[in-house]
Amino acid sequence: MKNNKKYALLMFLLISFMIFSQAVNVGAQAQTTEVNINHRIEESFKPEIANINIEVWSQKEDLETAYSNTTNRMNSTIEALNEFEDLTYTTTTFSVNQRFIEENKKRVKYYEVSTMIKIETENLKKLGNIIERVVAVGGTNIKGISYGLKSPEKAKNKVIQKGIEEIKDKANIIKESLDKVSYRIVKLDVNDNYSIYNYNYNMMRSDIMSAQESLPVPNISPQDVNINVNFSVKIELK
């Protein structure tokens, strides 16, 4: 009888030890590891729209003359822009300022009259022609050209989707390297940037009205629009 009790006690201890060992092994396998992943992706897209900022400017000692010169040039510029299709424009500023210039050891007061016209067009093949016409009829300064997309958010989403797939590939490599069974993303930060390229086409300010004759057409080659996305990810591996 005593032997039976000893045998039963021994079996109980043995089974308990086996269960405990299995629990420890399972716990060890289930131990989680956290890994931070930083990932960056950049994609280029062909530009679909362009913005051109034009200044029409005049400086004279007489306010009326300066005002009339700028207004006439502005009206001529707008008439020239109306010749193009797929083009819109807005007047963003119109300013009148006094400026004192040293001449023969005297401070002479001049009046500066300036207006800014913002042009938006989808006709990228005609950018050089637009610039030629604006300069020919009296545009005094082209501040720059910027390129963009019609639906930048859709393009951003495509880049984000591709970036997440690349992150999954990285996570799988890390999982296999650490002999883990699975992983899950516990934190994801996304920072996207819509990079607009500016092409400066600057001219010297000139107060001489152009003769409205044809000028050489500059060959403008639009640059791609870049969208880059930065990811900060934390994954949990088991």
Which of 219, 214, 215, 213 is CA-nearest to residue 201?
219
Helix (H) or strand (E) holding 65: helix 63-81
pLDDT of 214 over the 90 cut = no
pLDDT tens digit sequence for 58-72: 999 999 999 999 999
Query: What band does 218 get if pLDDT is binned at 50, 70 and 90?
Result: confident
pLDDT tens digit sequence for 71-93: 999 999 999 999 998 999 999 99
Where in the chain are the domains? Answer: 47-149+196-210
User: Which of 135 and 199 is assigned the larger pLDDT?
Assistant: 135
pTM of the predicted protein model = 0.72
For 104, left (φ over 0), alpha (ψ -120 to 50), or beta? left
Q: Are 80 and 52 in contact (CB under 8 A)?
A: no
Q: 47-149+196-210 is classed in which CATH architecture?
A: 2-Layer Sandwich (3.30)
